[in-house]
Amino acid sequence: MNYVFFPLETLIRQIKLHPEYLPYVLGSCCAAALCVGLGIFYFRKFFTFVSKSLLRNLLRTILSSLAVMVLAFVVTLILSIVLLLELVTMEQTKNLKAIVTERYQIPSQMPFSYAQTLADGAARSDRPDDVKPEDSMTWQFFGGTLDKTKMRREDMVFMFAMDPAKLRTMMDDLDSLDPALVEKMVKNKKGVLMGRDRLALIHNHVGGTFTLSGMNYKDIELEFEIVGLLPEGRYDQNTIMNRDYLNDALDAYARAHNGQKHPLADKTLNLFWLRVPDTKAFQKVADQVMTSSLYTTPFVKCETASSGIASFLDAYREILWAVKWLLVPAILITMALVIANAISISVRERRTEMAVLKVLGYGPGRIMAMVLAEAVLVGGSSGFLSALATYLYIHVVKHGIKFQVAFFGVFDIYVDALWWGLLAGTLTSFIGSIIPAWSARRVKVSEVFAKVG
């Protein structure tokens, strides 16, 4: 997790790993809340005056607030998608995942026999300086249909065939998966874990069974039992099966065909994941794998997970660039203009009030601060409330927004969206109100009362 854009999410994950930090975090939050409360209390007359000014034309304040909330909602959604894609393609320096695939072919199809030595990072027994990965995981893909006569989309199920024991340690966001579900898959090779959307699409339930006729593995039919659900969110469309069940079926195919192997029997390993502690270890392991004589039929390549994902997102690169550097700034500028327009109208209507305030002893700086505070209060609170509503609806209620980008089907709204909305609303309202506030500061008492007279 990136500390710059996701500090709150990072903090929450660290607290889950180290609950002993919770009292210190709560103490810091209470201290910060106390400081804010004391500041508001000390300047209570100022904030009361600003609030009354906003309530004077309630309709304009509400309309300006709604406009900012809509724009903040759009910005929050866009940032959640763009920043997450940047995050997964960002090169890390610690706790790296490496991906081994076939070097010259897409899709990658390697013999499963590669897995045994890849698990050791192709480390050689006679080379004590060779580095071994901390963990590893095989990936095999099995796609099938519930009805091979109709071949409808809703009848098709795509599965990841994996070692169940590796799910909690190697798969993103599955570290909290119930160990009992893993145990069920280990004991029952036919057991699968299925996402909620996929389960609903095939009209089945936990405990139910179904049979798939292989699409990529022709003449392979497998019967499955749904032993549990995958966590809500990014895995709603996915299904995970036990790799041993697929490999056993391929062995049975050879026995049933007088020893003749299935055409894909030596091409079942699609990906191999390795976990290494740091960049130095990755470079060493990658060199071991790429130069090993064990992987020549076919040759393989080893790259970081972020590099592998980035290659899949190449087709979206220009679109994402335009969204990040053209669309988002355009929305922020629009937010600033909305606030600027509302505050400008308010200042023009209240020129007499500004002149009276100067007569009563209010200095130009104080009047300017009052106008800026009105804008910041509307923009900041609207941005925060919009982000809060977005977070509660998409994260808590919907468990993510379905939006397909490459193989990412669901995007979540992280808790950091709260300060994104607050910051976007505050900064744009502050910038948009500078010119109107400066105009209010320069109101001349003599000119105003001369027109009144």
Mean pLDDT of 186-196: 94
- Out of 71-75, 182-186, 222-226, 230-234, which region has the weakest mean confidence (pLDDT)? 230-234
Under the banding of pLDDT at 50, 70 and 90, the label for residue 229 is very high
Label residue 89 by pLDDT band (50, 70, 90).
Answer: low
Q: Which residue has the higher pLDDT, 308 or 188?
A: 188
How many Cβ atoms from other residues are within 10 Å of residue 360's Cβ? 7
Task: Name the residue with tokens 């089945």.
Answer: 204
pLDDT at 428: 92
Token duo for residue 230: 């995958």
27-31, 147-151, 331-335, 394-398: which has the highest mean pLDDT?
Answer: 27-31
**Predicted local distance difference test score (pLDDT) of residue 12:** 82
In whole angstroms, what is the distance from residue 4 CA to residue 10 CA? 10
36 in any annotated domain: no
Clarify whether residues 121 and 229 are in a common domain.
Answer: yes
pLDDT at 95: 67
Q: Report the percent of the chain where pLDDT is more than 90.
A: 43
Q: What pLDDT shows up at residue 14?
A: 78
Do 250 and 196 share a structural domain? Answer: yes
Q: Is residue 171 part of a domain?
A: yes
Phi/psi of residue 268, nearest 5 degrees: -90, -20
| Domain finish residue from 312, 345, 378 | 312
30 band by pLDDT with thresholds 50, 70 and 90: very high
Among residues 312, 328, 351, which one ends one of the domains?
A: 312
Domain that holds residue 385: 42-89+316-452
Shared domain for 75 and 196, answered yes or no, is no
User: Are residue 282 and residue 428 in the same domain, yes or no?
Assistant: no
Residue type (1 letter), 143: G
Cα dihedral value 294, 295, 298, 301, nearest 10: -170
| Domain assignment present for 37 | no
The answer on pLDDT for 366 being more than 70 is yes
**Mean pLDDT across 281-309:** 87
What is the model's pTM?
A: 0.70
How many structural domains is the chain composed of? 3
Output the pLDDT for position 128: 85
Tokens of 35: 């400081």
pLDDT exceeds cutoff 60 at 91: no
pLDDT exceeds cutoff 90 at 153: no
- Inter-residue contact 206 to 227 (CB < 8 Å): yes
280 and 266 in one domain? yes
